[in-house]
Structure 1
Amino acid sequence: MGYLYPGRVVDAAGWGQISDESPGLVDELSYVPLSIIDQYECQTVFGSQLKNSMICAVGNYNEGICFGDIGGPLVTPALIGNHSMHVAIASFMSQNGCESLDPSGFTRVDSYNIANDLTNKLNYVTMSIIDQFECQAYYGDIGGPSVTPTLIGDYTVHVAISNFMNQNGCENTDPNGFTRTDVYHDWIIKAMESTRIIGGEVARAGQFPWQAAIYKHTADGNYFCGGALITEQWILTAGQCVDGAIQFTIKLGSNRLQGNDENRIILSTSTYVLHERFNPETLAHDLGMIKLHMPVTFTGKAVVVLLVKNYNYIIIDYVQSIQIAKMGYIHKGAPGTAAGWGQISDGDYTKKRHLSVIYAYILDSPELSNDLNFVEMTIIANYECQSYFGNQLTGAMTCVVGNYNEGNCFGDIGSPLVTVATLVGNASRHIATASFISQNGCESLDPSGYTRTDSYYNWIT
């Protein structure tokens, strides 16, 4: 006993299927780190069949066991000086399939007093990634990038795109042809930034790598919110976006909610913290935090696309956290950037809403934007905002407006307001969380309401 508790990281290994569509065993042993979840959370999937001698584990994405993995061991990771310990045996999985976000089921071995002092270790080998040129010699060249070698302290630079070769064949000594990207630098940048929250523009890849799409599942329905990744394991959002939740599905790394995107990661969790003074009627203290089962891996500088013109670099990160701002960033006239997947017009949906505050977006309307949109806004004085929202506006709230009718809409609640990063080395800061809009609709000239995060800095951190 003592090895299995919620949050404990363990490893599962096996030769089972690696996808629902690919039946059959795999030739190589695969493994994945998982996190133990509590019995209550697991029973929401498997019901009363779950006994005390069973345990469930999940990954941050859809990792887990599949057909052919039953009977395989669940073990503790081997730390320096320690051996792995056999803690459970793979036993069952969800009827929704191997690639669902449902947990995997195991039989605990400590419940059966089985001798589990394992001394043998899995073998492993260190391997090296090959560069694009060498790989393309096997799998083709057209469309592949040409890059400069990476030196210590430098980034790989994209300089050309493979375009043509001599008709005499691939094995002759004729040179290969490339299209230079530095010649098209301005066109590439414009294309990244010009593709089109209310009055906003479509965000380019990696522009808001902390942005999280949150699907909240409750006993009475499903809801959509935004959020921000603030550490490797925590997402900050509005309190109304976690209140009453049973389960969350979270998407990171992609600006699009639907469609193919190799940078998108999908996670599932049920752990959250709601501010203890949250008031669902007035939206006072409207903050909540969602904890992932395990830390996510930041793409950092490891996943980058770099274009060159006079050695000006553009770095694209797909999953990164954002730092919470302390006092001093919020004042009248200060600029801020809002981003979200909410409605981009009122349509007919806002006619159903009559309150001056709104809650997490109900997923029974097709009005969400598939593309992440952003807009530049300006903070206004609280006395000015109170002329719209009255006494519900507290000192821990702030309001923003655009030049026209830019602002938040249904589906943007929980999304961050961030400082504009314009100086070299000056990163964006999370300064507020979207909380409410005017009852006059998203396209009105009324301001958008936020909960200040600097007022809750100590609670968040």
Structure 2
Amino acid sequence: MKALVVFALALVYVSASVHEDQPDIYHYNELQDISNVEIINGHNASLGKFPYQVRLFIKTSKKCIGCSGSLINHNWVLTAAHCTNGSNSVEVLLGGIENSDFRAKFLIKPKYIIIHEDWDDQFNDISLIRIPYIKYSRYIKPVNLPKIQQNYKTYVGFKAIATGWGRTSNASNSSLEILQYGTVNIVNNKKCSNSFYFLTSSQMCTFDSKISLCLGDSGGPLVILPSKVQVGIASFVSKGCSNPNGFTRVTSFLKWIKRHTGLPL
């Protein structure tokens, strides 16, 4: 993999003066290297394969960043808080795998964005975007969410699908960006503790020797197989886009989602 070039100041969770032995941790959208914005070793998705996948372009006062999200019903998109924080507007694109074929586009104002009230750059990295009513079709369908229960699975040992956008190769100069996907393994948080010392029960991680999320994949859904239920939201990654990968654990926020959306979870 080519060396990463940093075009924007990256948020580093770990202060070198406090945890000198810990690697730098970055959100997926904070390093703006346009030559390597992809799921590493992923595959091109076919049109309609992931009808819940949403592409987001977030405009702030200083820049425009790309993120992903998931459609969870006719009016709501689920994504990461660090994607929508500080946004002046969010362009929401649905029903496609590349820029030329999206079936629906909305420009959303900040008043229709809900960021978790306890988000602090590291924890509670979850956000909701309210969109105009969208009709379902072959290419636009909601992802399944877990049901609210007294106890939840950790999903350790499950295989899951991660999805996000990026160039088809590092060497390509083409602006074509096709949705990528890859199968990853959900592992125990202890396995990731050397890389992510701060992990809590409201976060989860994946590890795979080949597949890794990378820059620009923030907010994307992690969907377990074979049920295709979303259990994670892409949140953070080690410097260099190496494994493991970090996610917001959806089951920790189901009541929060229900409170703001009214979904019958």
- 1:279–1:382 Cα change, 3 Å: same
Which residue of 384, 391, 397 maps to 2:191? 384
After superposition, the C-alpha distances for 1:210-255 in whole angstroms (9 at most, x for unaligned) are: 1000001111211110000001011000000111111111110001
Q: Counterpart of 1:267? A: 106
SS of residue paired to 2:255: helix
Relative to the length of structure 1, the TM-score reads 0.44
Q: Percent identity?
A: 30
Q: Counterpart of 1:408? A: 213
- Check whether the contact 2:77–2:128 (CA below 8 A) recurs between aligned residues: yes
- Check whether the contact 1:329–1:431 (CA below 8 A) recurs between aligned residues: no
Relative to the length of structure 2, the TM-score reads 0.76
SS of residue paired to 1:226: strand
Amino acid at match of 1:339: T
- Residue 123 (structure 2) pairs with residue 284 (structure 1): yes
Which residue of 213, 224, 227 maps to 1:419? 224
Instruction: Report the RMSD for the aligned CA atoms in angstroms.
Output: 2.2
Aligned residues: 215
In proportion to residue count, which structure has more helix? Answer: 1
Q: Counterpart of 2:135? A: 297
Q: Counterpart of 2:28? A: none
Map 1:210-289 → 2, pairs under 5 A: 210-256=52-98, 258-259=99-100, 261=101, 264-270=103-109, 271-280=112-121, 283-289=122-128
Question: Taking CA–CA contacts closer than 8 Å with sequence separation of 6 or more, which of the two structures ends up with the larger relative contact order?
Answer: 2
Q: In 2, distance between residues paired with 1:373 and 1:433?
A: 16
Q: After TM superposition, which residue ranges in structure 1, 4 or more long, deviate above 3 angstroms? A: 326-330, 342-345, 366-369
- Check whether the contact 1:202–1:372 (CA below 8 A) recurs between aligned residues: yes
Q: In 1, distance between residues paired with 2:216 and 2:177?
A: 11
- Any unmatched runs of 5+ in structure 2? 1-38, 259-265
Q: In 2, distance between residues paired with 1:226 and 1:389?
A: 22
Q: In 2, distance between residues paired with 1:331 and 1:367?
A: 38
After superposition, the C-alpha distances for 1:84-137 in whole angstroms (9 at most, x for unaligned) are: xxxxxxxxxxxxxxxxxxxxxxxxxxxxxxxxxxxxxxxxxxxxxxxxxxxxxx
SS of residue paired to 2:191: helix
In the TM superposition, residue 285 of structure 1 has moved relative to its aligned partner by 0.4
Q: Counterpart of 1:332? A: 156
Q: In 1, distance between residues paired with 2:222 and 2:255?
A: 19
- Any unmatched runs of 5+ in structure 1? 1-196, 300-316, 349-365, 422-426
In proportion to residue count, which structure has more strand? Answer: 2
Which residue of 167, 171, 180 maps to 1:373? 180
- 1:344–1:276 Cα change, 3 Å: farther
Amino acid at match of 1:452: R
In the TM superposition, residue 272 of structure 1 has moved relative to its aligned partner by 0.2
Amino acid at match of 2:257: I
